[in-house]
Amino acid sequence: MTVPRIAYQGEPGANSHLVCRQKYPDHEAVACASFEDVFAAVESGDAHLAMIPIDNSIAGRVADIHHFLPTSDLHIVAEHFLRIQFTLMAAPGASLDTIKTVHSHVHALGQCRKVIRELGLTPLVSGDTAGAAREIAEAQDPAQAAIAPPLAADIYGLDILRDDVEDEDHNTTRFVVLAQEYVEAPAGGGPVVTTFVFNVRNLPAALYKALGGFATNGVNMTKLESYMVGGHFTATQFLAEVDGHPHDAGVARALEELAFFTTDVKVLGVYPADAFRQQ
């Protein structure tokens, strides 16, 4: 029996790897160098699913993903939220007294400023949090440390010098799971999220009119992101998310009204809302 595979961007030990292990323990997690490689792995059939970060509560949207999604042939089939926890780690034998530099992804360094300042460390940017941990393990230098998820310490044999070094305890990343096959969550089976993209027509107040149907039909829109397409400095394409199923009366009427003022409406996914949304 073939073990299903789920692709993620980053090196083993990254947060994307961690959420793959938590949510899909029966899948083989496959590390990819870039988001483009992740999409290609699923599109080619080399992986069954892709685990992709889409938003962070501190850093905001993951810009690359928002540009891949509208043009991809993949579909969103699930979402998961991960509370981000960073640890300060170093090679065995190092201590808080010996470390001088700290390596990590630029976003992780920005989210752990307090401990960096407290310990007087020099931050050095790496391409990936888990990659930084691997580099520290390879260097075996007691003056170098990394900020990475705790899973990376286990994988690369590093000592954790301090847990939970992130500045904010609400640091959370939302991930979406992508698949080749369009699988729509059943209507009436619990809270559902519908994600779609659309282009507005070149009409006065087109966006206002296009979105008006969601307000008048009582549909909660949780995301609206704009894009510049075709090299024009005008926001004509939008990615939106709403609470509800396209078969719900209110959502169905709102999408019908949306069509009058837009072109190329494309539903990217209708999937169960993660329980984190209810917290």
Q: Give the pair of three-digit tokens for residue 24.
A: 């899909």
Q: Is the pLDDT of residue 234 over 70?
A: no
Structure tokens at 63: 């810009």
Q: Residue 1 pLDDT more than 70?
A: no
The pTM of the full predicted model, rounded to 2 decimals, is 0.89
Cα–Cα distance for residue pair 50/178, rounded to 1 Å: 5
pLDDT band at 273 (very low <50, low <70, confident <90, very high): very high
User: Can you spell out the DSSP letters for 84-113?
Assistant: ---EEEE-TT--TTT--EEEE-HHHHHTTH
Question: 74 pLDDT band (50/70/90 cuts)?
Answer: very high
Please give the average per-residue pLDDT across 147-152, as a whole number: 96
Sign of the dihedral through C-alpha 162, 163, 166, 169? negative
Nearest to 268 by CA among 134, 157, 188, 178: 178
pLDDT at 89 over 80: yes
Domain with CATH 3.30.70.260 in the chain: 192-278
Question: What are the start and end residues of each CATH 3.40.190.10 domain in the chain?
Answer: 5-82+171-179, 87-162
Task: Specify the CATH architecture of the domain 192-278.
Answer: 2-Layer Sandwich (3.30)
Q: What is the mean pLDDT of residues 155-179?
A: 95
Predicted pLDDT at 232: 62
Q: Are 42 and 179 in contact (CB under 8 A)?
A: yes
Q: Which two tokens stand for residue 110?
A: 């920005």
Residue written as tokens 């938590």? 22
Least confident span in 86-90, 127-131, 206-210: 206-210
Could you give the residue numbers annotated as active site? 173, 175
Three-class SS of residue 272?
strand
pLDDT tier, 70 (very low <50, low <70, confident <90, very high otherwise): confident
Give the angle subtended at the CA of 93 by the CAs of 89 and 95, to the nearest 5°.
Answer: 55
Helices of type H across the chain: 15-23, 35-43, 63-68, 106-110, 113-119, 129-139, 150-156, 206-216, 249-261
Split at pLDDT 50, 70, 90, the class of 132 is very high
Helix (H, G, I), strand (E, B) or coil at 75: strand
Distance between CA 225 and CA 52 in Å, rounded? 17
Is the separation of the CB atoms in 77 and 178 below 8 Å?
yes
Read off the pLDDT of residues 19-62 as tens digits, 9 standing for 90 and up: 999 999 999 999 999 999 999 999 999 999 999 999 888 877 77
Superfamily for domain range 5-82+171-179: Periplasmic binding protein-like II (3.40.190.10)
pLDDT for residue 65: 79
Beta bridge pairs of residue 61: 55
| Res. 238: pLDDT tops 80 | yes
Supply the pLDDT for residue 202. Answer: 74
Report which of residues 226 and 136 the model is more confident about.
136
CATH superfamily, with its number, for domain 87-162: Periplasmic binding protein-like II (3.40.190.10)
Span 174-230, pLDDT tens digits: 999 999 999 999 988 899 999 999 988 777 888 898 899 999 999 999 999 887 766
The reported pLDDT for the residue numbered 9 is: 93
